[in-house]
Structure 1
Amino acid sequence: MRILPKSAFGQTVLLIGLLLLINQVVSYLSVTYYFIRPTSAQINSLLATQVQSMLAQDILQSPVSERRAYTETTGISVFNTEQAMQRGLVQTTGYQFMSNQVSAQLAQKVEVRISTPAPEQNSKRPYLVWISLSSHPDTWISIPLSGWAEANISPLTVYLMVIGSLSVLGGWLFVRRLNRPLHALQSAALQVGKGQTPAPLKEQGSTELIEVTRAFNRMNQGIAQLEHDRTLMTAGISHDLRTPLTRIRLATEMLPPESDWVREGIVHDIEDMNAIIDQFIDYARMDTVGQQELTDLNQLIAEQAQVRHIEETHQIELKLTPLPQIPLGRVAIKRVLDNLIENAFRYGSDKITVTSFFDQKHKRIFCKVRDFGPGIPEAALANMFQPFTQADTARGSLGSGLGLAITRRIINSHNGEISLRNHPQQGLIAEFWLPALFS
């Protein structure tokens, strides 16, 4: 499980969060050591001094009338345990650190408790500190503490939380504004990688991002111009080549009957050259996908397998599992399947296997075409999808070397991937996957 984010956005937010956490911890420690602790020590010292004064005046052993007069003068009351229970001792909270400090100053064991006013009572009513001395076990001293409630640190907590939240929100907005041009640049780069020409990006963000966006727009325009020039050149060359080929074919028709074998050979070569020219034109086209519609890939596989049963020696074994329907360019995917099956028969073996399955975890549809031929050298596998590339030594040298390049362009335009690998035992596996996107 990944804990640290890899994106710049996640790392920036994490950094801001850590800095704010450290800031809050330091703030809490500072408030505790420099404000709360000295105040608490001062209060405990005052409480101990007050109790010492009462012990010196022997208030705890004096008659009730003197205690009442003392209470009216100072607000400090003395009760026995039963009376203290009736006046709220049960709802008090003990504080051990206060007990320890007061005990140290009075040189005897002291128990300190604090009672808070009930919510329905007047909020201005002071807190009461209850003190019990080990020398007077059945006596409780009640000392009012005015101003204790005003020392509540909850506003500080709220303040720190608000500051932290606003800082994280501000950092999030800043990083989001910074990353928006990067996301647009990434999307446009993916489109260029698929052979598309996206619209020029809006130059926004920091100075560095504006410069990168401007350079990308220039590169995109240059690539579009190169593609346009290549298409025009390919179309022009193809047109110029077809004219002499047509004349050659007409000339062969004028050969004498005894030269039929020569005529057939020339016509066969002309058809091969026309097929190669068609591949040049198809590779130069940018609209290789066409209109997409919801389709079951198994249906296209079955149709292409039926079409390829033109020779008795060719056998296609289908291992198809149920697949969900996905948006496909039917003509384009049929071309992919036809090219892979044709290559498997031409360069591999007379028996091939076509497999399909659905990867539920990654939401991908897979299709594999396997032959039982000699395979391709491992060093040549990585370059087989490059235009005009053939593994001559292992698979023969027929064709123009554009079939797999066109196939990869079609698969990439469907946001999928295609690869070749040798089977561990024998043969070659051509595998492609397409994303199964559900709305």
Structure 2
Amino acid sequence: MRGELIDRAHDDYDRARQLYNGMVDKRPYLIARCANAADVISAVDYGRENDLLIAVRGGGHNGPGLGSCDGGLLIDLSAMNGVRVDPARRTVRAESGCTQGDVDHACHPFGLAVPAGIVSTTGIGGLTLGGGHGYLSRQHGLTIDNLIEADVVLADGSFVTASETQHAELFWGLRGGGGNFGVVTSFRYRAHPVGTVHAGPLFWDLADAREVIRWYRDFLPQAPEELCAFLGLKTVPSTEPFPPEIWGRKICALICCYNGPADEAEAAMRPIRTELPTPILDGVTDMPFPALQSLFDPLLPSGLQWYWKGDFVRELPDGAIDTHIEHAAKAPSELSLMHLYPIDGAVHRVGRDESAWHYRDATWSMVIAGIDPDPAGATALTDWARGYWEDVHPYSMGGAYVNFMMNEGQERIRATYGDNYDRLVEVKRTYDPTNLFRVNQNITP
């Protein structure tokens, strides 16, 4: 290997095995910090030949810690973080160890961006393979809708490129099917014109939440696709840059991003400012897109305690709204939250059988996350998130964004893929019949 092998006796072992979720502590037998695709092939071969459990880590943000394992081989892709932008073709080649911030940084000088998530420290590998949604989804679709091809190391150690014309069934499965089929070493994406956006947060006191959410459910589906606004029920963190007079207040928030003609930005935002109560904070302004992408990074460093649950949501009836507000008022920490991410617009223009992502008719992807730096609060976070989810789940569509799932069992995985599940099983049988890659939301062959 050109990269580094780290065993339990290595001075860097404890740092190298850390995951984003501080609630998860795993101790792999060996960490292969790969430098290139050849290293990945060597690592996969070694793991297979020695009958080791194999986990693959890019950014390490996976909630239940599926980017590592106990006693097995961790294939660490974080050193594979090269990005090449082709501004003429508006395409981006990114190695699978890149974070979203790496890709944003490389694309921004060319006035381009790849549709992805909302936290810049997220690894593009897991985000892409799970689907990928964020500020540009309404306008340009999911991350997988902008994936052109992927280079993949398969369970037998072979290396293939998957696209619409090569290994097309594998390419279909990679777009939403997670890490079930191999180790992706690089992705090639379509990029879109994105430079300065009119964006930022607006906060209302939780007392206004019912009015804000009812308005939002009617406004969003008919809003221009250049405007994304995700809804959050949160607590204002007691830290800068927030004004001290609102620290600790329970709030309803809209985090907005308008990516259209600059002279139309104010008009696009006008309904939010004229049809709703006056917010207690209005942080919407012009900013470079990478600044928006990294806006919340300081609040969410690695090592916090996390427990999350998700669902796809089509409608927000009054009963659901009341249930959300009831549980948001009981949030056990300042960082705990509920977000509704819009996935309509361009996402709806792709058929549910065109990729592994089944819920093409959902309006929102919901996540409930209990978050706190103190390990002593882990039980309270978990209980709050589970109880909240159990009460709002009856208003959902049944499945969830795979990247917002914990270890929830096979029935839940089936619900997430719906009618696409059986086809995913066939792809798994073709490309990983022995289930070598099973540290994931597993499709059992």
Q: TM over 0.5, yes or no?
A: no
* Greater relative contact order structure (CA < 8 Å, 6+ sep): 2
> Higher strand proportion, which one?
2
Q: Higher helix share goes to which structure?
A: 1
Q: Normalization by structure 2: what TM-score? A: 0.21
